[in-house]
Amino acid sequence: MIFYFSGTGNSYHVAKKLAEGFGESVVDMAKAVREKQYAYTLPAGEKLGFVFPVHAWAPPKMVEDFVQKLELYYQGDLYTYAVCTCGQSAGDTIPIFDAALRANGLHLQSGYSVIMPDNYAVLFRAPSAKEAEKILQHADDIIQLIIRAVKLERKNFFRVKKGKGGVVLSNVVNPLFRRFATKTKSFHVTKDCIHCGLCAKTCLSGCIEMHKGKPIWTQPQCYMCMACLQHCPTEAIQYGKGTKNKGRYVYPKERDTGGIV
């Protein structure tokens, strides 16, 4: 069984490819949280996997909270692994996630990072279609290597691009990100809004409501997954002044149907 969290489709794609490789099912963590579904039974011999993006060099807080509430029923030994997707580097993401698992009596046997196109438009410009395609092709090669390693049940096996200063970034920058950079008050919509409601439909936090045809963020903080901003067909959703003219990115629909919408 593979649990995933995905705002713009990168981690969903990885989870889907892993599920195809193992013949297993996937579970959307954000949906599970909304439905308060934390109890799962794993078929005999099935592995336990987690796939999620890196948010400021750490797992999304929602992912940590979810695994600490997870109730698993299984027989025999349980092989557990995690794959984090990131734009450049993962820092201490996997050890932080492992600590969250250990708080619930679980732990990782292996962990991996996969470089994907960055979707954090607050800081980064969206890649061109050609750039994204090159990154995604390499990512698919890495996913196949991960499938092989997990099938072999490699233990104490971690292949993660931490990056320069990753440990410091995870333990200093991430707490600041969670406190100050997940506030929804900076989200706003421009006159380009076409009232399609796609932002509300894709919001993993469930905090967007449509009011007179325009989105309203109803909670002071959100997951900051960028789903609303990146999926907007007219780029009408902005976050402060930093996302204007940055372009937009979602996992190419022609390559991977289904996604999160």
How far is Cα 205 from Cα 202, in angstroms, rounded to an integer? 9
- What is the enclosing helix (H) or strand (E) of 215? strand 214-217
- Using a cut of 0.75, tell me whether the model's pTM lies above it: yes
Q: Where are the alpha helices (DSSP H) in the chain?
A: 10-22, 29-34, 61-69, 93-102, 129-151, 166-168, 174-180, 198-202, 227-231
Model pLDDT, residue 119: 93
How far is Cα 29 from Cα 250, in angstroms, rounded to an integer? 19
Model confidence at 259, pLDDT cuts 50, 70, 90, reads very low
Model confidence at 201, pLDDT cuts 50, 70, 90, reads very high
pLDDT tens for residues 95-121? 999 999 999 999 999 999 999 999 999
How far is Cα 15 from Cα 101, in angstroms, rounded to an integer? 19
- pLDDT of residue 261 exceeding 70: no
Model pLDDT, residue 167: 86
- Averaged pLDDT of the chain: 94
Please, what are the domains in the chain?
2-176 (3.40.50), 184-239 (3.30.70.20)
